[in-house]
C-alpha cells in the first residue's frame, strides 16, 4: 500500500509510450501511422483505466476552435482528469502551448529541451551553443509562464544532468521539472542520486522504467512494463514526498527503440562535469536490478518489423503498468 510519506499522486497517462497506436510513429516518409487513433483513442484508454491526469500532446490541439476546447475541457472535468499540456522541444515552440493551457485551465506545461538522446552530447558539435539557446528560451518562457500563473516543467530528456536542470530552474520564476524516472541512467546518474537533487523542483512525473542490458560500450535501456525494471519507485517516491504533497504522475513506457548509452567510450564523456568513482558506481549498481542478460533479445516488435503486433504490445504494457502502480499504492 501507499506509504503515508509519499505525495498524493494523480495517476494518469501520456502518449509517448503508445506512439504507434496513436499514430505518432510509423514507417515511410511521413513517419506516422495513418491508422493511428489520435486524441480520441488516447481519451478512450484514459477513460478505460480511470486516469486522473493526462499529458495532452499539444499538436493535437492546433486546429481546435474555442468550442472544441470547451468540449474537451468538459469531458476532462467529467472524468476528474487534470490536464498537463505537452509541448515538444522548447527551441521549436511557437507559444501555442500557452493558449492550450489557458483554455483547458492547465497549470503545467511540459517541455523537452533538446533532441539529444542516450546522454550523447559529445556527438553534437554544437552542444555548447545548443545549451545556451536552451537557457535563453527557458528565461523567455519562464517569465511568460510566471506572468500567467503557470509552470513550465522541463524534462530530463536524456540530455541534461540533475544539477544542470536545477540550475535552469533557479535562473527565473515559472520553471520546474518534469521528472522522467527512467532518464537518470542516460546521463550516468543513479535514480536515487538524481531524485535527491531534483526533488524540490519536481512539478510533474513521467513514470518510466527500463531493463538494462550491458554491452561492450556501455548499456542498452530496454522498454519494459513499469514496475518491472531497474527503477526503485518506492525509494524515489519517499524522497519526492519530503518536498511535494501532490503531483500529477503519468505512465510513459520507453520508446520502441532501445537507447544505447555508450559511457564506456572515452569520447562519450566530453562535455560532462567530473564525476566521482562512487557516483558512477552507484549508477552501474542500480542498473543491475532486474537487468537483461547479454544473450537475451532486447528488441521490441517495432525493431523486429512486426508492426501487426504493435498495438497489442503497447496497450498491454500500459494496462499492466497501470495495474502495477495501483498495486504499489498510487
pLDDT in tens, 225-283: 999 999 999 999 999 999 999 999 999 999 999 999 999 999 999 999 999 999 999 99
Phi, psi for 259 (deg, rounded to 5): -100, 125
Coil/strand/helix, residue 155:
strand
C-alpha neighbours within 13 Å on the C-beta side of residue 264:
9
Structure confidence at residue 3 (pLDDT): 82
Report whether pLDDT(30) > 90.
no
Task: Give the Cα separation of 167 and 10 in Å (integer).
Answer: 27
Predicted confidence (pLDDT) per residue in 151-173, tens digit: 999 999 999 999 999 999 999 99
Share of the chain above pLDDT 90, in %: 95
By CB atoms closer than 10 A (0-12, 13-18, 19+), residue 72 is buried
Domains of the chain: 8-328 (3.20.20.150)
Report whether pLDDT(2) > 80.
no
C-alpha cell of residue 160 = 541534461
Structure confidence at residue 1 (pLDDT): 59
pTM for the predicted model, two decimal places: 0.96
Amino acid at each position: 500500500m501507499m506509504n503515508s510519506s509519499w505525495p498524493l499522486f494523480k495517476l494518469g497517462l501520456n502518449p509517448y509510450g503508445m506512439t504507434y497506436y496513436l499514430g505518432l510513429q510509423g514507417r515511410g516518409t511521413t513517419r506516422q501511422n495513418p491508422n493511428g487513433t489520435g486524441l480520441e483513442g488516447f481519451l478512450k484508454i484514459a477513460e478505460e483505466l480511470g486516469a486522473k491526469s493526462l499529458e495532452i500532446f499539444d499538436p493535437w490541439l492546433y486546429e481546435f476552435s474555442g468550442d472544441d476546447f470547451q468540449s474537451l475541457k468538459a469531458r476532462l472535468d467529467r472524468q476528474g482528469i487534470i490536464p498537463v499540456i505537452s509541448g515538444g522541444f522548447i527551441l521549436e515552440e511557437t507559444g501555442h502551448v500557452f493558449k492550450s493551457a489557458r483554455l483547458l485551465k492547465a497549470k503545467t506545461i511540459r517541455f523537452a529541451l533538446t533532441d539529444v538522446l542516450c546522454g550523447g552530447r559529445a556527438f553534437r558539435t554544437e552542444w555548447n551553443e545548443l545549451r545556451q539557446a536552451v537557457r535563453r528560451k527557458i528565461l523567455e518562457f519562464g517569465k511568460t509562464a510566471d506572468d500567467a500563473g503557470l509552470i513550465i516543467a522541463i524534462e530530463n530528456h536524456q540530455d541534461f544532468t540533475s544539477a544542470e536542470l536545477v540550475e535552469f530552474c533557479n535562473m527565473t520564476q515559472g520553471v520546474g521539472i518534469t521528472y522522467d524516472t527512467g532518464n537518470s541512467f542516460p546521463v550516468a546518474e543513479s535514480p536515487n542520486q538524481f531524485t535527491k537533487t531534483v526533488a524540490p523542483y519536481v512539478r510533474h512525473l513521467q513514470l518510466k522504467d527500463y531493463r538494462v542490458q550491458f554491452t561492450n560500450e556501455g548499456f542498452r535501456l530496454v522498454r519494459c512494463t513499469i514496475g518491472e525494471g531497474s527503477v526503485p519507485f518506492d525509494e524515489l517516491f519517499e524522497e519526492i514526498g519530503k518536498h511535494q504533497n501532490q503531483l500529477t504522475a503519468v505512465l510513459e513506457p520507453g520508446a520502441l527503440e532501445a537507447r544505447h548509452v555508450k559511457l564506456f567510450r572515452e569520447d562519450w564523456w566530453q562535455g560532462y562535469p567530473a564525476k566521482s568513482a562512487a557516483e558512477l558506481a552507484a549508477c552501474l549498481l542500480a542498473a543491475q536490478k532486474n537487468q537483461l542478460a547479454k544473450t537475451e533479445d532486447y528488441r521490441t516488435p517495432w525493431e523486429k518489423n512486426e508492426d501487426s503486433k504493435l498495438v497489442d504490445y503497447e496497450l498491454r504494457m500500459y494496462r499492466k503498468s497501470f495495474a502495477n502502480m495501483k498495486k504499489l499504492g498510487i
